[in-house]
C-alpha cells in the first residue's frame, strides 16, 4: 500500500505550492490538469482540478459562489471562514500536506489553496466516466433485479447500501498501489462479520506492495489469497448487488475495487461456486430441481469423458446391453488423441467467440458445429461418439455458474483422462483420490475448501443439497464464524 513517510506541508505562499504541483504531477504540462486563479477579498485563491474526473457544472457553481464573495463581504481577515461557508457541497474536507492534496486531485476531487493559509480545501465533485448499471451477462436470471455493479466504486457501494439500510453496515476505504493509488473498499456488517476475518482481510490488503492495480480485482485476489498455480478459485466474484448483499447478511466480507465491476466475496468454499441466483428466484422445489440439474452438469463435465475412455479401453467392464457406449467404428487415430483434439477444439471455439464481434459469433458457431465437426467425422479424424461425449461434457462446463470453476474442472478432467489412458481402472481410482485429497487440502483465508462436506456438517450440507425457503433459513453459515448466528430476530 502506498505510504508517505515524509509529508510536505502546504505553504502559505501559493507560488511554492504551484511549483511543487508543476514538478510533482505536471500541472501545465499534462493537458487534463488545470488551475483557475481568482482574487477573493484581496487574497489570491488557486483552484486545481482534473478534467474528465470532476463534474464541470459543480465546479462552475462553486466558482460562482466564491467570486460572489467579493460583492457581498468586506472582512478580509475572515477570508478562510467565508470561503469555507461558500463551498456549497456536502463533502468538504481539509488537508495540511501537499502529498494528500495530490492524491485527492488525481482522484478527481478539486483542491482549493488560499494565500496565507497552510491548509487546502478538498471538495468531492468526482464524476467518473462509465456505464449505467445493467444486468451482468454472466449472472442472468429469468426473474429478479436487472441492475449490476459497474466500474465505479461509488455506484457499487450505493447499490449495496440500497439493499441493506443497516446502521451497522460498514464501507472502509483504503488506497493500494504506489502509482495507481487504486481505491479499495472493505464491506461488512459490524455485528455479524467475524472481527478476526475483517482484520485478516485488512492486514492482507495493507501488505500489498505494487506500483499499480491495472487488472483491478484479479490482482487484489492474487495478493489476498496467495493462490499460486492452483487453478481452483479461492474467492467468489459477483456482479449482482443482491448476491453481494445476501453474503453480507451471512457474515462474509466483501472487497470492492475501483474500476472493477466484480465484487470479491470472502471467504468461499467449493460449494459457493456451484450456486446461482436463479435458484433463489424460484420456489424452493423448483430451485432444488435446478440445483440438482446443475450438480449433474458439473459432475458430467468432470467424470463423463474419463469414464467413457475407461469403457473404451476396457469393454469387459460394460454389460452386454451397454455395448453401444463404445465406438462403433474403427479409426487409425487413438481415442485418447481424438478426445484431446476435440477438447482443445472446444477451447479454440470459446476463445474465438470471446474475441469475435457478436453478429459474427453465431455464424462462426454454426460453421464450426456443422461444417468442421461433420467433415472431421467424414474424413475419419473423429468417431461420432467422441464428438457426442466431448459436446456433453462441454455443456456441463457451460452449466457451471462460476467461469473460474468450469475452467479448473476442465484442467482436472484432462488430468483424469490422461490417468485413465495410462493406467485404466487404477488410473481412474488413484486420479480421483488424488483430486479429492487435493481439494481437501485447499484453504481459503483459513477456511476448508470442501466445507460442509469435509469437515462434515450435516445441517449445512443439507442446505447445499436442498434449497431452503427464506423462512426456513434461520441461522447463518458457521464457516464464517458470525457474531450473531440467527438470521431471524426472535
Q: Are 255 and 224 in contact (CB under 8 A)?
A: yes
CA dihedral 297, 298, 301, 303 (to 10 degrees): -110
What pLDDT score was predicted for residue 3?
44
Residue with cell 477570508: 79
What pLDDT score was predicted for residue 4?
45
Whole-structure pTM value: 0.87
Nearest to 339 by CA among 311, 366, 358, 364: 311
What pLDDT score was predicted for residue 321?
79
Residue with cell 478539486: 110
Distance CA 80, CA 354 (A): 56
Per-residue pLDDT of the chain (490 residues; tens, 9 = 90+): 444 457 899 999 999 999 999 999 999 899 999 999 999 988 999 999 999 898 888 899 999 999 998 888 877 778 889 998 989 888 899 999 999 999 999 999 999 999 999 999 999 998 888 888 999 988 999 888 899 999 999 999 999 999 999 999 999 999 998 888 899 999 999 999 999 999 999 999 999 999 988 888 999 999 999 888 999 999 999 999 999 999 999 999 999 999 999 999 999 999 999 999 999 989 999 999 999 999 999 999 999 999 999 999 888 888 877 877 777 667 778 889 999 998 998 888 888 877 777 766 666 666 766 677 777 777 778 888 898 899 999 999 999 999 999 999 999 999 999 999 999 999 999 999 999 999 999 999 999 999 999 999 999 999 999 998 888 888 899 999 999 888 876 5
Amino acid at each position: 500500500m502506498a505510504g508517505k513517510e515524509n509529508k510536505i506541508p502546504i505553504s502559505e505562499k501559493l507560488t511554492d505550492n504551484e511549483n511543487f504541483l508543476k514538478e510533482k504531477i505536471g500541472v501545465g504540462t499534462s493537458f487534463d490538469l488545470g488551475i483557475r486563479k481568482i482574487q477573493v477579498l484581496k487574497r489570491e485563491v488557486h483552484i486545481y482540478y482534473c478534467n474528465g474526473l470532476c463534474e464541470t457544472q459543480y465546479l462552475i457553481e462553486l466558482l460562482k459562489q466564491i467570486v460572489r464573495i467579493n460583492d457581498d463581504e468586506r472582512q478580509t481577515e475572515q477570508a478562510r471562514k467565508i470561503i469555507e461557508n461558500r463551498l456549497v457541497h456536502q463533502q468538504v474536507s481539509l488537508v495540511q500536506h501537499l502529498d494528500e492534496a495530490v492524491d485527492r486531485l488525481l482522484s478527481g476531487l478539486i483542491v482549493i489553496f488560499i494565500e496565507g493559509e497552510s491548509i487546502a480545501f478538498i471538495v468531492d465533485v468526482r464524476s467518473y466516466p462509465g456505464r449505467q448499471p445493467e444486468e451482468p451477462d454472466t449472472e442472468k436470471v429469468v426473474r429478479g433485479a436487472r441492475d449490476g455493479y459497474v466500474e465505479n466504486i461509488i455506484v457499487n457501494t450505493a447499490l449495496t447500501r440500497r439493499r441493506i439500510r443497516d446502521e451497522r453496515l460498514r464501507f472502509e476505504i483504503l488506497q493500494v498501489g504506489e502509482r495507481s493509488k487504486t481505491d479499495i473498499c472493505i464491506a461488512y456488517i459490524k455485528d455479524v462479520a467475524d472481527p478476526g476475518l475483517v482484520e485478516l482481510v485488512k492486514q492482507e490488503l495493507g501488505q500489498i506492495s505494487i506500483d499499480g492495480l491495472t487488472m483491478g480485482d484479479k490482482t487484489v485476489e492474487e495478493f489476498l489469497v496467495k493462490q499460486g498455480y492452483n487453478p481452483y478459485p479461492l474467492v467468489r466474484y459477483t456482479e449482482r448487488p443482491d448476491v453481494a448483499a445476501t453474503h453480507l447478511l451471512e457474515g462474509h466480507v466483501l472487497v470492492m475495487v475501483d474500476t472493477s465491476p466484480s465484487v470479491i466475496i470472502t471467504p468461499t468454499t467449493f460449494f459457493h461456486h456451484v450456486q446461482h441466483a436463479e435458484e433463489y428466484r424460484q420456489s424452493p422445489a423448483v430451485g432444488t430441481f435446478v440445483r440438482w440439474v446443475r450438480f449433474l452438469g458439473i459432475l458430467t463435465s468432470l467424470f463423463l469423458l474419463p469414464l467413457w475412455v475407461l469403457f473404451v479401453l476396457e469393454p469387459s467392464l460394460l454389460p452386454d446391453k451397454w455395448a453401444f457406449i463404445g465406438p462403433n467404428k474403427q479409426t487409425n487415430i487413438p481415442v485418447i488423441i481424438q478426445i484431446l483434439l476435440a477438447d482443445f477444439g472446444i477451447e479454440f471455439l470459446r476463445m474465438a467467440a470471446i474475441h469475435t464481434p457478436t453478429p459474427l459469433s453465431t455464424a462462426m458457431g454454426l460453421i464450426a458445429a456443422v461444417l468442421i465437426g461433420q467433415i472431421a467425422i467424414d474424413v475419419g479424424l473423429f468417431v461420432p461418439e467422441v464428438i457426442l461425449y466431448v459436446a456433453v461434457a462441454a455443456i456441463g462446463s457451460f452449466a457451471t455458474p462460476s467461469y473460474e470453476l468450469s475452467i479448473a474442472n476442465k484442467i482436472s478432467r484432462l488430468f483424469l483422462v490422461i490417468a485413465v489412458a495410462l493406467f485404466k481402472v487404477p488410473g481412474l481410482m488413484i486420479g480421483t483420490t488424488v483430486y479429492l485429497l487435493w481439494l481437501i487440502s485447499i484453504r481459503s483465508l483459513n477456511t476448508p475448501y470442501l466445507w460442509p462436506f469435509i469437515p462434515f456438517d450435516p445441517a449445512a450440507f443439507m442446505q447445499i443439497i436442498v434449497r431452503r425457503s427464506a423462512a426456513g433459513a434461520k441461522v447463518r453459515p458457521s464457516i464464517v464464524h458470525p457474531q450473531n448466528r440467527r438470521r431471524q430476530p426472535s
